[in-house]
């Protein structure tokens, strides 16, 4: 302790105390902001938000934020907003986003996945909620005309950030560049486009029935309703096709001159343009609504699956039951085969539950991948940058004390999407906590059994000790504690008890060697000399000993035994 209170140690302790105090004050400030409904951020602590939108700039943004965080000693958050436009990205581009998010997690960042239509609105809402002071975004790589038509996320953030600082990171992308989307339209089956044509024909038939009784403006509403149905159920591509075909069918069938594409009245050109814009806007909004509905349905299904898994794991007690339930649930949710591996005493993983269906020749390689995941605490396997040649995907089961096992998943559908990968990690966290709880419960039960066994053994020993005074004359009969009886038996065994000393003096006076106890607490049968003393033989010492017995003085023999021997001698 004398060498502990040095200047460097005191400075380190002071820094830890100040940091802990700052964290508590920051938590109290967040509670006050939420209670009072304060929406604007307070610049009391540096917190950096990194926006990962374009995969081309993802790695550069993460590295720049890491350097800034190290210089400011601030917290940093990496956020990604999933939009309906990402559905048109190829699988490799979406996988690259997952790799960037995983790289940020490895660097120590907190990752957040958001879903929405407008990226800037979601980012600003998260920044105000987490009291962010600086926002890092990448320089937009789209053409200027597309920014004018679709809007710029950077300009929106700069204009609406207010007290927050916005940093735009420029430069070329680092490392491998992910593939870009090959088509501006989402992937849709040809049958969807044929169904869109059928919907337009059905709207035209209904308009023919209404043509004689209703105005043309009412017929336009029929076509817009058909466009909305197509966009809502078939997607954005068929919705755009239905919009164009609806304008053409309305012009061909109902605008004079009829059954031609010629327009006699120029006012109908404005009608056509308005109808086309309204149909396209309605198609886009309906498609966004469908995407959001699908995303909400997937979130609800995953939340329900996590709830069912947590409830099932909470009702199980043994670790084997927990592992079996986890492997079954993971396999059902991802439509594949799942397995759980736990370490043995040597630290090597062993398959406990499930089977990934790998051939015998490749099983050693798969076990090596799982061992690497357990040793390093990071995911590996198919769909990741680490050991992607593996047949399965392996995720560590991380508990409160570190990795406690590995969960493996093999499915025929290929790599997981980013949202599916996060769902698998969430399930792995639930399983890890349940396995750790079950192991702790088993250890506690084993300890309780050992304590009960030891207590029963001690109780039996105390009962044996408590019976010893009855075998040594009953001097301690009634109300004496086992500990005192144990001391009594030990003193008898060592010959230090006053009865032994008195009997020894009497035997020495008679010129004889007194008998000693060999077993603690249990009196020996008297030898020939002792029998002679009990029968009344011997000189003055023997007579003194008999007088003591007549006055009620106990010795190492029982009173009943002494009386029986005296009665035998007298007879």
Q: Has residue 449 been placed in a domain? A: no
Mean pLDDT, to the nearest integer, of 52-75? 83
User: What CATH number does the domain containing 73 carry?
Assistant: 3.40.50.620
Q: What is the pLDDT of residue 150?
A: 67
Q: Is residue 306 part of a domain?
A: no
Domain coverage including residue 151:
15-169
- Confidence band (pLDDT; 50, 70, 90) for 220? confident
- Residue 112: partners with Cβ closer than 8 Å, 6 or more residues away: 77, 78, 79, 80, 126
Q: Does residue 55 have a pLDDT over 80?
A: no
**pLDDT at residue 550, rounded to an integer:** 54
User: Which tops the pLDDT comparison, 505 or 156?
Assistant: 156
Same domain? 147 vs 40:
yes
Residues 73 and 139 in one domain: yes
pLDDT per position as a tens digit, 100-120: 887 888 788 888 888 777 888
Whether residue 482 lies inside any domain: the answer is no
Contact 506, 555 (CB under 8 A): no
What pLDDT score does 343 carry? Answer: 92
Strand order in the sheet with 165-169: 110-115, 75-82, 47-51, 134-138, 165-169
**Residue 132 clears pLDDT 50, i.e. is over it:** yes
Nearest residue to 478 via CA among 487, 469, 486: 469
If asked whether residues 533 and 418 sit together in one domain, one would say no
User: What are the angstrom distances between the C-alpha of 371 and each of 316, 364, 378, 399, 442?
Assistant: 27, 10, 11, 17, 25
Lowest mean pLDDT among 198-207, 228-237, 402-411, 546-555: 546-555
Q: Residue 250 and residue 519: Cα distance in Å, rounded? A: 117
Are residues 142 and 195 both part of a single domain? no
pLDDT score recorded for residue 202 = 92
Whether residue 400 lies inside any domain: the answer is yes
**Domain containing residue 390: CATH number:** 3.30.450.40
Instruction: Note whether 94 and 136 are same-domain residues.
Output: yes
pLDDT, greater one: 242 or 99: 242
Q: Looking at the structure, tell me whether residues 208 and 280 fall in a common domain.
A: yes
Same domain, 263 and 324: no
**Collapsed DSSP state (helix, strand, coil) of residue 2:** coil
Is 324 inside a domain boundary?
yes
Is residue 457 one of the residues assigned to a domain? no
Q: Which of 87-101, 247-261, 505-519 has the highest mean pLDDT?
A: 247-261
For tokens 């003096």, the residue is 505
**Residue 135: which pLDDT band, with cuts at 50, 70 and 90?**
very high
Q: Domain count of the chain?
A: 4
Based on the fold, state whether residues 44 and 150 are members of the same structural domain. Answer: yes
User: Are 95 and 29 contained in the same domain?
Assistant: yes
User: 199 lies in a domain?
Assistant: yes
Tell me, yes or no, whether 138 and 51 share the same domain. Answer: yes
For residues 497 and 563, state if they share a domain.
yes
Residue 307 inside a domain? The answer is no
Does residue 386 carry a pLDDT above 90?
A: no
Determine what percent of the chain is predicted with pLDDT higher than 70: 75
User: What pLDDT is recorded for position 89?
Assistant: 74
* Residue where one domain finishes, among candidates 225, 258, 293: 293
- CA R_g for the chain: 44
Residues 288 and 330 in one domain: no
Residue 402 CB-density burial (10 A; 0-12 exposed, 13-18 middle, 19+ buried): exposed
Q: What is the pLDDT of residues 28-40, one digit of tens each?
A: 877 877 787 776 6
Taking every pair of C-alpha atoms in the chain, what is the biggest distance, in angstroms? 157
Question: How many CB atoms within 10 Å of residue 240?
Answer: 20
b (16+ CB within 10 A) / e for 147-164: eeeeebbbebbbeebeeb
């Amino acid at each position: 302790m004398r060498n502990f209170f040095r200047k460097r140690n005191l400075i380190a302790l002071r820094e830890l105390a100040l940091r802990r105090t700052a964290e508590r004050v920051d938590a109290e400030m967040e509670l006050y902001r939420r209670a009072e409904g304060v929406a604007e951020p307070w610049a009391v602590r540096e917190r950096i938000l990194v926006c990962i939108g374009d995969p081309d700039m993802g790695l550069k943004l993460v590295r720049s934020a890491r350097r800034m965080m190290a210089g400011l000693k601030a917290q940093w958050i990496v956020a990604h907003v999933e939009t309906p436009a990402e559905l048109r990205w190829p699988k490799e581009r979406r996988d690259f986003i997952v790799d960037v998010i995983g790289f940020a997690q490895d660097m120590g960042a907190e990752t957040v996945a958001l879903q929405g239509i407008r990226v800037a609105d979601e980012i600003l809402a998260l920044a105000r909620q987490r009291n962010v002071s600086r926002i890092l975004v990448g320089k937009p790589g789209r053409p200027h005309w597309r920014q004018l038509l679709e809007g710029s996320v950077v300009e929106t953030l700069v204009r609406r950030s207010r007290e927050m600082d916005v940093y735009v990171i420029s430069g070329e992308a680092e490392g491998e560049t992910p593939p870009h989307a090959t088509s501006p339209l989402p992937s849709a089956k040809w049958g969807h486009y044929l169904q869109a044509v059928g919907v337009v024909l059905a709207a035209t038939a209904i308009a023919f029935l209404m043509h004689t009784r209703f105005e043309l403006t009412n017929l336009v509403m029929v076509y817009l309703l058909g466009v909305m149905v197509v966009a809502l159920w078939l997607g954005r591509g068929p919705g755009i096709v239905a919009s164009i075909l609806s304008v053409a069918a309305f012009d061909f069938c109902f605008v004079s001159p009829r059954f031609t594409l010629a327009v006699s009245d120029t006012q109908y050109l404005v009608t056509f343009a308005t109808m086309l814009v309204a149909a396209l806007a309605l198609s886009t909004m309906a498609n966004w609504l469908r995407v959001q509905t699908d995303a909400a349905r997937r979130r609800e299904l995953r939340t329900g699956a996590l709830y069912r898994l947590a409830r099932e794991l909470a009702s199980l007690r043994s670790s084997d039951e927990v592992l079996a339930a986890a492997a079954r649930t993971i396999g059902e949710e991802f439509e594949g085969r799942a397995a759980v591996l736990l370490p043995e005493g040597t630290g090597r993983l062993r398959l406990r539950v499930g089977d990934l269906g790998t051939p015998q020749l490749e099983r050693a390689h798969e076990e090596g991948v799982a061992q690497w995941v357990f040793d390093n605490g990071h995911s590996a396997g198919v769909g990741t940058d680490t050991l992607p040649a593996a047949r399965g995907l392996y995720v560590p089961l991380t508990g409160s004390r570190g990795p406690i096992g590995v969960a493996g998943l093999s499915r025929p559908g290929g790599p997981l999407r980013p949202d599916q990968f996060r769902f698998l990690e969430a399930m792995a966290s639930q399983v890890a906590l349940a396995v750790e709880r079950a192991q702790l419960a088993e250890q506690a039960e084993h300890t309780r059994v050992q304590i009960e066994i030891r207590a029963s053994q001690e109780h039996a020993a105390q009962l044996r000790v408590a019976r010893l005074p009855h075998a040594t004359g009953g001097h301690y009969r009634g109300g004496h504690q086992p500990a005192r009886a144990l001391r009594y038996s030990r003193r008898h065994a060592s010959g230090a008890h006053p009865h032994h000393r008195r009997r020894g003096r009497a035997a020495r006076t008679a010129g004889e060697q007194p008998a000693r106890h060999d077993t603690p607490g249990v009196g020996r049968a008297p030898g020939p000399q002792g029998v002679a003393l009990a029968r009344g033989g011997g000189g003055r010492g023997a007579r003194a000993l008999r007088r003591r017995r007549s006055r009620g003085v106990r010795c190492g023999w029982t009173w009943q035994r002494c009386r029986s021997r005296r009665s035998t001698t007298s007879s």
